């Protein structure tokens, strides 16, 4: 299994499409902060709008996707003559439709969120740039796959019926994988470690994901990348935005969270499987990453299971 597919499986994120926004002229739409375990996203299919965060403004164009891993409150603003107007939201069976109070919609924006648990999902989303904006426009045209995906989303939105919510959720799940693997044309200030451009660095990520519990000294990782030790460290940090040690810890703890959820192995056995020599060292690292001990983490998930 490739690294992005592996990470998506570990994260157990569930997509929900909340609303389709058909906005006209000067319109302002406030989006409240999401609760813990939720990351909102926006997919712009037509028109131009601005996403306003407390510390920055991001202009979105057709083919842009923006993900907010920390669920920060924000605004969507469209420009036009006159004062900014509000919106009217009409509930639907699968999602709500939001329109400007006046005017014909020229902005087609799909808004939703990913839900994830406190383990691997939280660790994955916390490791991503916030906000994460990706453009699926190549040489002036929208990526063929995204164009097809957007066409299906629009068709389902127009002909809402049995299964629409499930279909749109599955499409948004696919969109997450596409965002995580996107490297060329990325519009982020921070490296996206799930989409390292260097094939040699991607090979290292794949090898560690296949066997996170193995002994992975820098020298061995450098051999996988066919680089000298110093060159590997430099290229890895530049290509992923994190240190080798942070990456190893991240992958091991994400895998451990999955084992705690999906198996009945003892905590000592889980610790050994992901490369920790002692249960106490594993418990300290896990608590630092998740805010919970492995035992409490597993216990809290039992009622949900």
Kindly report, residue by residue over 34-43, the tens digit of the pLDDT: 988 999 999 9
Same domain, residue pair 161 and 244 = no
Q: State the pLDDT at residue 139.
A: 64
Same domain, residue pair 156 and 234 = no
**Interval 246-259 mean pLDDT:** 96
Same domain, residue pair 160 and 219 = no
CATH of the domain at 236: 1.10.10.60
> Residue 284: beta bridge partners?
none
Given a cut of 60, is residue 185 above it in pLDDT?
Answer: no
Q: State the pLDDT at residue 143.
A: 80
Query: Which of the residue ranges 113-117, 179-183, 243-247 would you say has the lowest mean pLDDT?
Result: 179-183
Domain boundaries, position 33: 14-117+132-181
Same domain, residue pair 204 and 262 = yes
Same domain, residue pair 143 and 203 = no
Tell me the pTM.
Answer: 0.90
Query: What would the pLDDT profile of 211-220 be if each residue is shown by its tens digit?
Result: 999 999 999 9
Number of domains in the chain: 2
Same domain, residue pair 98 and 66 = yes
Angle between helices 244-262 and 229-240 in degrees, nearest 10: 60
Same domain, residue pair 206 and 175 = no
Query: What would the pLDDT profile of 51-83 be if each residue is shown by its tens digit?
Result: 999 999 999 999 999 999 999 999 999 988 778
Same domain, residue pair 174 and 210 = no
Same domain, residue pair 157 and 276 = no
Residue 70 lies in a domain: yes
């Amino acid at each position: 299994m490739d690294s992005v597919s592996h990470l998506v499986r570990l994260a157990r994120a569930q997509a929900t499409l909340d609303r389709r926004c058909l906005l006209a002229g000067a319109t302002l739409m406030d989006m409240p902060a999401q609760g813990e375990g939720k990351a909102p996203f926006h997919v712009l299919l037509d028109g131009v709008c601005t996403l306003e965060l407390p510390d920055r403004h991001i202009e979105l164009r057709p083919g842009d996707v923006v993900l907010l891993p920390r669920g920060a409150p924000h605004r969507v603003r469209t420009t036009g003559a006159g004062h900014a107007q509000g919106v009217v939201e009409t509930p639907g069976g699968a999602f709500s439709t939001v329109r400007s109070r006046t005017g014909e919609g020229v902005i087609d924006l799909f808004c939703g969120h990913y839900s994830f648990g406190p383990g691997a999902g939280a660790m994955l989303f916390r490791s991503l740039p916030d906000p994460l904006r990706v453009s699926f426009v190549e040489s002036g045209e929208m990526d063929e796959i995204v164009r097809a995906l957007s066409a299906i989303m629009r068709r389902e939105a127009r002909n809402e019926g049995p299964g629409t919510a499930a279909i749109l959720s599955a499409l948004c799940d696919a969109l997450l994988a596409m965002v995580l693997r996107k490297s060329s044309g990325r519009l982020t200030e921070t490296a996206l470690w799930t989409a390292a451009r260097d094939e040699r660095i991607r090979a290292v990520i794949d090898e560690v994901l296949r066997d996170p519990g193995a002994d992975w000294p820098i020298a061995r990782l450098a051999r996988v990348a066919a680089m000298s030790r110093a060159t590997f460290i430099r290229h890895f940090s530049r290509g992923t935005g994190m240190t080798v040690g942070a990456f190893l810890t991240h992958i091991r703890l994400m895998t451990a969270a999955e084992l705690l959820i999906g198996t009945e192995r003892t905590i000592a056995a889980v610790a050994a499987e992901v490369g920790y020599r002692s249960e106490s060292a594993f418990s300290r690292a896990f608590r630092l990453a998740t805010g919970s001990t492995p035992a409490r983490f597993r216990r809290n998930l039992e009622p949900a299971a």
